[in-house]
Amino acid sequence: MDSLGDLIAADDVLLFVNAAITSTGQREFHSDAGEQRLSLEFLHAYLLGNYRDLYAATLALDINDHNAALIVRHLLASAGEASAAQRRTEGRLIARRLAALPPQRVYRLFGELRRAKVNNRRTRAIVRDWIAARPDPVLDAVKYRAGLKAALRHTHLPPATAELGPFLFAPRARAAFATPLLEHWRQAHYRQSALYELPYTVAEGFAARHGIDRAVFLERIAPRMTRREQLRLRESTVAAGGAAVDLAGMPLTRLASYVLGLPVPERVRRRAELTGALRAAADRAAGGQRGTWGRVAAVLDDSFSTYASGHKRRRPLAVALACHFLLESLADTYTALWTSGRGDALLARPAGPTPLGRRILDALDTAPERLLIVSDGWDNAPPGLAGEVLRVWRTRLDPDRRTSVVHLNPVFDAADLDVRRLAPSVPTAGLRDAEDLPALVEIAQFAEGRTGLAELTAHLDARIARFLAEPIPRGTR
């Protein structure tokens, strides 16, 4: 039987995981960026100081990139406080997580370590191994020139090829480079045609310097764009005659965010295309679990607070929309109930109050096997009704838990150092991307308070083993 201390430790870890999944230190609807960062830094310091092993283990969970980088930074900066066994485990987790992070974020992390004067032997080895594993050092030198240059200087590592040294540290001293991409970069300073041989993000700066018309630039650079860049600039490239993007190949939550950014008339006009792309992305995310969840009801928040902020515009609503299509794929029978009462998911927009209690009552009337609530938890029409409905349901009407109820919250509440909860009897898990929903429903059992540290540690150990064995996702290399 777990001691009180073990139960508190399990609760502390789950609180941190919720924050690490949902918060990026940016402004939310109910809290500003300063509050978010202060609360997040406190949680990182608290967990690192009290549960170092569990803190490192969260790198194997579906936390967001911002918090993954913070964990790596704190572990490397406090290497002297770890035992030899801890350093070995942390090193494997850090190396695997860095390999999955976007390169620009890793280079930013290396810059933060340099400014903090963290340059111990383990840090130098991790930086060396990560740079050595990069598939195209020349591309990195052009695309992330400042970051790579700073990392090599900080760790005293030699460049990967003979020409990279002069390119990074004395590019004007060379009259020409034998490596084509480096030579295109050199020529792009004075010849416009050369910039179209460069990566889009690099070429964009040269295009502005040369005063090239934006539409002309987008048309000619389209073949050099990555899929994410094409999605971000799809409307511009199509208007300029560029190649259209295969929306069905986009990740589900990112695609939902793109759809919500379109004007309503355009969503109506492209309904078949957008709906088909969302369903295809949802089917990919569901994988082998398609149609296996039985009768599912979802209460989805599209109230005004799901607008979030200028930094995270419509992010909570995008998560809810993505969850809607994913649950439709996972369920055998599916019922969706939006807080606004609207029934057309494709036309969702943030507006009105949050009558969660009423929608939960409607959802329970369908006798689901699973009830999923996707909301920031600010139940206000009337306030507190959702918590009371769930309390009565769990204690009086369904004490045997025939219906599984899970609350998934995409917003970190800085004031409470956690995601906002609806009722003590219902587990709440933070949610960043809809693709993580199946795994988070699995871990939500620990948030009910019926399992303790031993079970949580066993779950984390299993996740670590899977994490270290998984192939690195495409697109991060």
Confidence label for 7 from pLDDT (cuts 50, 70 and 90)? low
pLDDT at position 476: 46
Half-sphere exposure of 277 (CA within 13 A, CB side): 23
377 with 342, same domain: the answer is yes
Average pLDDT over residues 305-324: 87
Last residue of a domain, one of 245, 274, 294: 245
Tokens (6 digits) for 127? 């930086």
Last residue of a domain, one of 202, 219, 245: 245
262 plus 285 within the same structural domain? yes
Instruction: Give yes or no for residue 200 having a pLDDT over 70.
Output: yes
357 pLDDT higher than 90: yes
Is 111 a residue whose pLDDT tops 70? yes
pLDDT at 452: 63
Quote the pLDDT of residue 365: 94
Same domain, yes or no: 200 and 294? no
CB 322 within 8 A of CB 396: no
Q: Could you tell me if residue 381 is inside a domain?
A: yes
Q: Do 356 and 301 touch, CB atoms closer than 8 A?
A: yes
Asked if residue 227 has pLDDT above 80, the reply is no
Torsion angle defined by CA atoms of residues 243, 244, 249 and 250, in that order, rounded to the nearest 10 degrees: 110
Checking if the pLDDT of 259 tops 80, the result is yes
Residues 309 and 434 in one domain: yes
- The structure tokens 């918060």 sit at 23
CATH of the domain at 432: 3.40.50
**Mean per-residue pLDDT, 129-154:** 93
Residue with tokens 């480096």: 182
Q: Is 299 exposed, middle or buried (0-12, 13-18, 19+ CB in 10 A)?
A: buried
Summarize the confidence of residues 9-29 as an average pLDDT: 80
If asked whether residues 432 and 334 sit together in one domain, one would say yes
How far is Cα of residue 477 from the mean position of the Cα atoms in its chain?
17
Q: Compute CA 338 distance to the chain's CA centroid, rounded to the nearest angstrom.
A: 24
Same domain, 226 and 367: no
**How close are the terminal C-alpha atoms of the chain, in Å?**
45
Q: Domain check: are 294 and 353 in the same one? A: yes
> Across 130-181, where does the E strand assignment appear?
none
- My answer on whether 373 and 444 are in the same domain is yes
Give this prediction's pTM. 0.80
pLDDT value at 37 more than 60: yes
Does the residue 347 lie in any domain?
yes
83 falls within a domain: no
- 90 in a structural domain: no
Q: Do 316 and 287 have their domain in common?
A: yes
Three-state DSSP state, 72: helix
What is the rounded average pLDDT of the residues 296-319? 88
pLDDT digits (tens, 9 = 90+) for 361-382: 999 999 999 999 999 988 888 8
Asked, for residue 165, whether it belongs to a domain, the answer is: no
What's the confidence (pLDDT) of residue 68?
96
- Nearest-Å Rg of the Cα atoms of the chain is 24
Where is average pLDDT lowest: 184-198, 260-274, 357-371, 449-463? 449-463
CB 289 within 8 A of CB 364: no
Inter-residue contact 41 to 76 (CB < 8 Å): no
Residue 303 · residue 350 · CB < 8 Å: yes
Residue 220 within a domain: yes
Percent composition of the chain: helix, strand, coil (DSSP 3-state, to 5)? 60, 5, 30
Q: What is the pLDDT of residues 381-398, one digit of tens each?
A: 888 899 999 999 988 888
* Same-domain pairing of 238 and 268: no
**Cα-Cα-Cα-Cα dihedral sign, residues 81, 84, 89, 95:** positive
3-class state of residue 383 by DSSP = strand
Burial class (CB in 10 A: 0-12, 13-18, 19+), 425: middle
At residue 242, the pLDDT reads 45
Q: What is the pLDDT of residue 459?
A: 78
Instruction: Tell me how far CA of residue 446 lies from CA of 10, 63, 376, 454, 455, in angstroms.
Output: 8, 17, 20, 11, 8
Provide the pLDDT confidence category of residue 127 given band limits of 50, 70 and 90.
very high
Residue type, 385: L
- pLDDT greater than 80 at residue 333: yes
What is the domain count for the chain? 2
| Euclidean distance between CA atoms 10 and 12, whole angstroms | 5
What sign does the dihedral 177-131-110-310 (CA atoms) show?
A: positive
Separation between Cα atoms, residue 355 and residue 372, nearest integer Å: 15
Of 116, 48, 113, which Cα lies nearest the Cα of 86? 48
CB 469 within 8 A of CB 58: no
**pLDDT at 36 (0 to 100):** 78
Give residues with Cβ within 8 angstroms of 257, minimum separation 6. 314, 315, 318
Kindly indicate the confidence band of residue 329, based on its pLDDT and cuts at 50, 70 and 90.
very high
- Which whole number is the average pLDDT over 125-150? 93
128 within some domain = no
Q: What is the mean pLDDT of residues 441-450?
A: 66
Domain enclosing residue 404, as ranges: 253-451
289 & 427 share domain: yes
Q: What is the mean pLDDT of residues 253-265?
A: 92
Asked if pLDDT for residue 141 goes beyond 50, the answer is yes
- 311-349: b or e for each residue (b if 16 or more CB lie within 10 Å)? ebebbbbbbbbbbbbbbbbbbeebbbbbbbeeeebbebb
Does residue 136 fall inside a structural domain? no
If asked whether residues 329 and 432 sit together in one domain, one would say yes
**What residues contact residue 429 under an 8 Å CB cut-off, 6+ apart?**
18, 21, 406, 407, 408, 409, 419, 440, 441, 443, 444, 447
Three-class DSSP category at 370? strand
